[in-house]
Amino acid sequence: MSKLLEGKVAYITGGSRGIGQGIVEAFAEHGVAAIAFAGLETPEEVSNIIENLDNQGVRSRYFQYNVASLSETETAVKEAIDAFGRIDILVNNAGITRDTLLMRMGESDWDAVINVNLKSVFNHTKAVQPYMLKQRSGSIINTSSIVGITGNAGQTNYSASKAGIIGFTKSIAKEVGSRNIRCNAIAPGFIDTLMTEKLPAEIKQKWIEQIGLRRMGTIEDVARCAVFFASDLSAYVTGQVLVCDGGM
């Protein structure tokens, strides 16, 4: 198996389940030396992930904290640096939904989604940036969404947060490119996750009929995009949004 990420150190938010966990597993398969990952689950609830990483010879640290807090983020990132010495790859993947039409959306629904989905990207990029600048290398990967490009009824908060990530990505790419730091985004489409499995079968089928490949995407599909951006395969790619939606 190719080791596209051999020797690299990654930091992944939202890494304890879903797409984030898939990225953790994909990075391990491709040879990372160490992974720090953050999530809402307790350390006990992610013990299987840690055990799998150990079995593959990947050092790991798990952090449970409020990703919308800059101070808590800086503390966790510093602990990761102290443990592993560097961070080569940052994946900003933490995200939540609070879907409802705008007329019914409360201020707390708006604030929660913006804080977790968008402010956390600011927090972690700001916290990791000084170390990457010192290294004069790094890859920052932000998880956006197809609805950040197209919009979606009932998801004004989520769509706004994901569109904001795209603007942030393109701006950071311009700010840090001269230091050999790249910043790209992935915009997944209709992916088979815990979020989407709750949808009624008829809704799923309606979405699938709009997809060119006539199937839902898998976590592995998105994780492979993250491997591409994290590796030297994309050494001359920055400020881009890779749409992973099966042609939807």
State the Cα–Cα distance between residues 87 and 152, nearest whole angstrom: 35
Cβ burial of 5 (10 Å; 0-12, 13-18, 19+) is: buried
Cβ burial of 224 (10 Å; 0-12, 13-18, 19+) is: middle
Which of 65, 131, 158, 236 is the catalytic position? Answer: 158
Q: Are 161 and 178 in contact (CB under 8 A)?
A: no
Residue 207: pLDDT band with limits 50, 70, 90: confident
- Confidence check: pLDDT of 10 > 60: yes
Domains of the chain: 9-244 (3.40.50.720)
158 has catalytic annotation: yes
- Confidence check: pLDDT of 224 > 70: yes
Q: Which DSSP letter does residue 88 get?
A: -
Share of the chain above pLDDT 90, in %: 93
> Which are the contacts of 134, defined by CB distance < 8 A and separation ≥ 6?
none
Residue 202: pLDDT band with limits 50, 70, 90: confident
Write down the pLDDT at residue 1: 52
User: What global pTM score does this model have?
Assistant: 0.96
Residue 200: pLDDT band with limits 50, 70, 90: confident
pLDDT (average), residues 218-227: 98
Residue 2: pLDDT band with limits 50, 70, 90: low
